[in-house]
């Protein structure tokens, strides 16, 4: 795909500009703002967790979110930063098997946790069934929200199996079925600007059916 | 985000003592609201005390047949708990009507109670807001007020409390159990946890400095039909314009708490005596002191119609 004369990808360029932006935010630069930060030393502190089956040890500024630890420190750029405020779901990962917004949690709060990102669900050679179903059903257009959608979709089917009710469950004491209405409600924390929702629900329905 | 130091708490009392003696300290549990506000520098704690390791994540029966919910029980776990689903259905329903799956997996019981308002002027750091910056003024009054409060508000603030869970807990007469910096415990009726703004809207609750919520206790089940009905601009993942948590007895009486209209879950026990006369009489009593704006006066009618819908549902259920 790449022209050999321009042997860098769009991702390299973006990663490069992100790195420069990080360099620009030095303590000196912060002190020049009109409202000085309280006199708090922001020493990096150590944190150890497991990402996609590999033990990871990092020394991190306390402010580093789990999302930034994954992307900027571990270079696992499959997990995306959309809104960075927990509204879009692009940053969804699994922590100890449970889906959360990685932008709204600090990396240092995840000592000893087991984190699974899109890179840990499947590989191009060996796709997770949900990844294969997203491709088959065209569950995306631009693809930016897709890693979060897939992590969320995998967890939603687990939540239904585990007997967790939803807002649209008619009887919260009954068993819950992966109906189209259930999946749409349970996926409401993942926004897709391309509007691939119908195809995402189709992909999830196929995986739900094949795993029962 | 402003720099802060970080530690993991060893016990609830230690966390309370540390929070009281450390300037600018805050507890962090789920973090879904606090970190959002820290990114916007609406909150800028100098020290975070991580309370996630305290083991307060169990739901247990109490001696008198009620339920004690650990402060760190996640919203998903609470909504899915079999005892809660069977005996306190209004609580399950309220939780499931709030936020998204990802947020419910992380948000805690105590954190949900202590979340801050979603008033757009509280979030807009370019505008005055008495809740964010005491004494700066209220931009909401005279501004865009469609989503904001109609009752219990003051000349200094018309923000609402955004929780669904708390509305159900108010109908259930929950108590909020705390420990303070000196190790003393107390139990606060949920009706007394959130305070009205008056002239000091920056203080959301009646908790003392460092006081730490350890659990929420529900009294033994009261029976009746339990219903949570939420009216919002989207079918999912949106805050309430109006919500109603109800426990309806066979005779049509019962407990009705309203969300989305006030700085706290809005319940007036005296007004419940009017339930037999129908939704209009009840809502007239419930919202007797309402001071709506031109743009949110519709909430009065919406409360009445939502209460009527809940009464109908209770008759048919």
In terms of Cβ atoms closer than 10 Å to its own Cβ (0-12, 13-18, 19+), residue A146 is buried
Q: Are A165 and B104 in contact (CB under 8 A)?
A: no
Q: Are A140 and A191 in contact (CB under 8 A)?
A: no
**CB atoms near residue A175 (< 10 Å):** 9
- pLDDT tens per residue across span A64-117: 999 999 999 999 999 999 999 999 999 999 999 999 999 999 999 999 999 999
Judge: A167–B96 Cβ closer than 8 Å, yes or no. yes
Asked whether residue A195 carries a pLDDT value surpassing 90, the answer given is yes
Which of B3, B118, B136, B231 best tests the A interface by mutation, with the highest count of A CBs <10 A? B3
- As a whole number of angstroms, the distance between CA A8 and CA A11 comes to 8
- pLDDT tens per residue across span A10-62: 444 444 344 333 333 333 333 333 444 455 666 899 999 999 999 999 999 99
pLDDT (0 to 100) of residue A25:
36
Nearest-neighbour CA in chain A from B65: distance (Å): 20
Judge: A167–B1 Cβ closer than 8 Å, yes or no. no
Asked whether residue A2 carries a pLDDT value surpassing 80, the answer given is no
Rg from Cα positions in chain B: 19
Phi, psi of B247 (to 5 degrees): -125, 110
Closest residue by Cα to residue B94 from B199, B239, B224, B203: B239
- pLDDT tens per residue across span B183-226: 999 999 999 999 999 999 999 999 999 999 999 999 999 989 99
> b/e per residue, A37-62, with b = 16+ CB within 10 A?
beebebeebebebbbbeeebebebbb
State the pTM of this model.
0.92
Strand ranges in chain B using DSSP code E only, listed in sequence order: 5-8, 25-28, 47-50, 59-61, 67-70, 175-179, 185-189, 212-218, 225-231, 242-248, 254-259
DSSP string, B85-128: HHH-HHHHHHHHTSS-HHHHHH-BHHHHHHPPP--HHHH-TTS-
Judge: B4–A42 Cβ closer than 8 Å, yes or no. yes
- pLDDT tens per residue across span A125-167: 999 999 999 999 999 999 999 999 999 999 999 999 999 999 9
Q: Are B311 and B272 in contact (CB under 8 A)?
A: no
Interface list for A 70-109 with B (CB within 8 A): 84-86, 89, 92, 98-101, 104-106, 108-109
Strand order of the β-sheet with B175-179 is B59-61, B67-70, B212-218, B175-179, B185-189
DSSP SS3 for A149: helix
Which of A30, A31, A101 best tests the B interface by mutation, with the highest count of B CBs <10 A? A101
Which of B30, B102, B227 best tests the A interface by mutation, with the highest count of A CBs <10 A? B102
Judge: B101–A155 Cβ closer than 8 Å, yes or no. yes
Nearest to B79 among A101, A165, A184 (CB): A165
Q: Are A99 and B104 in contact (CB under 8 A)?
A: no
pLDDT (0 to 100) of residue A211:
82
- pLDDT tens per residue across span B31-88: 999 999 999 999 999 999 999 999 999 999 999 999 999 999 999 999 999 999 999 9
Nearest to A172 among B2, B85, B102 (CB): B85
Q: Are B254 and B245 in contact (CB under 8 A)?
A: no
Mean pLDDT calculated for residue range B220-240: 96
Half-sphere exposure of B15 (CA within 13 A, CB side): 25
Complex prediction ipTM: 0.97
């Amino acid at each position: 795909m790449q022209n050999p004369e321009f042997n860098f990808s769009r991702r390299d360029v973006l990663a490069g500009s992100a790195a420069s932006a990080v360099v620009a935010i030095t303590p000196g630069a912060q002190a020049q703002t009109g409202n000085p930060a309280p006199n708090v030393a922001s020493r990096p502190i150590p944190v150890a967790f497991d990402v996609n089956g590999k033990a990871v040890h990092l020394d991190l500024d306390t402010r580093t979110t789990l999302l930034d630890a994954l992307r900027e420190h571990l270079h696992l750029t499959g997990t995306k930063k959309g809104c960075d405020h927990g509204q879009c779901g692009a940053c969804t990962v699994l922590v100890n098997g449970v889906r959360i917004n990685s932008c709204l949690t600090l990396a240092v709060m995840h000592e000893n946790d087991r984190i699974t990102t899109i890179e840990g669900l499947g590989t191009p050679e060996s796709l997770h069934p949900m990844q294969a179903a997203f491709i088959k059903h065209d569950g995306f257009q631009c693809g930016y929200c897709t890693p979060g959608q897939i992590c969320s979709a995998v967890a939603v089917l687990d939540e239904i199996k585990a007997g967790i009710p939803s807002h649209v469950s008619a009887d919260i004491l009954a068993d819950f079925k992966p109906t189209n209405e259930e999946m749409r409600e349970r996926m409401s924390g993942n926004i897709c600007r391309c509007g691939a929702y119908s195809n995402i629900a189709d992909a999830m329905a196929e995986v739900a059916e094949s795993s029962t | 985000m402003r720099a802060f130091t970080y530690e993991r708490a060893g016990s609830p009392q230690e966390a309370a003592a540390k929070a009281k003696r450390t300037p600018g300290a805050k507890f962090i549990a789920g973090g879904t609201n606090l970190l959002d506000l820290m990114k916007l520098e609406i909150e800028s704690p100098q020290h975070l005390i991580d309370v996630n390791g305290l083991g307060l994540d169990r739901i247990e029966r109490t001696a008198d047949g009620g339920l004690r919910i650990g402060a760190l029980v996640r919203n998903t776990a609470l909504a899915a708990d079999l005892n809660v689903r069977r005996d306190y259905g209004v609580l399950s329903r309220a939780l499931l009507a709030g936020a998204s799956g990802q947020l419910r997996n992380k948000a805690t019981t105590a954190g949900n109670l202590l979340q801050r308002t979603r008033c757009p002027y509280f979030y807009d750091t370019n505008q005055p807001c008495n809740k964010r910056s005491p004494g700066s003024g209220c931009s909401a009054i005279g501004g865009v007020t469609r989503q904001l409060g109609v009752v219990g508000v003051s000349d200094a603030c018309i923000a609402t409390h955004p929780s669904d869970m708390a509305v159900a807990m108010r109908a259930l007469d929950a108590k909020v159990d705390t420990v303070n910096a000196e190790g003393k415990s107390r139990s606060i009726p949920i009706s007394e946890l959130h305070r009205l703004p008056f002239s000091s809207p920056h203080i959301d609750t009646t908790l003392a400095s460092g006081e730490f919520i350890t659990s929420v206790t529900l009294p033994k089940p009261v029976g009746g039909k339990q219903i949570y009905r939420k009216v919002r601009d989207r079918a999912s993942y949106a805050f309430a314009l109006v919500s109603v948590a109800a426990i309806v007895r066979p005779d049509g009486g019962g407990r009705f708490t309203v969300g989305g209209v006030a700085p706290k879950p809005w319940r007036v026990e005296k007004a419940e005596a009017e339930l037999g006369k129908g939704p209009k009489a009840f809502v007239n009593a419930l919202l007797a002191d309402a001071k709506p704006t031109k743009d949110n006066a519709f909430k009065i009618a919406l409360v009445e119609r939502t209460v009527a819908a809940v009464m109908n549902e209770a008759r048919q259920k």
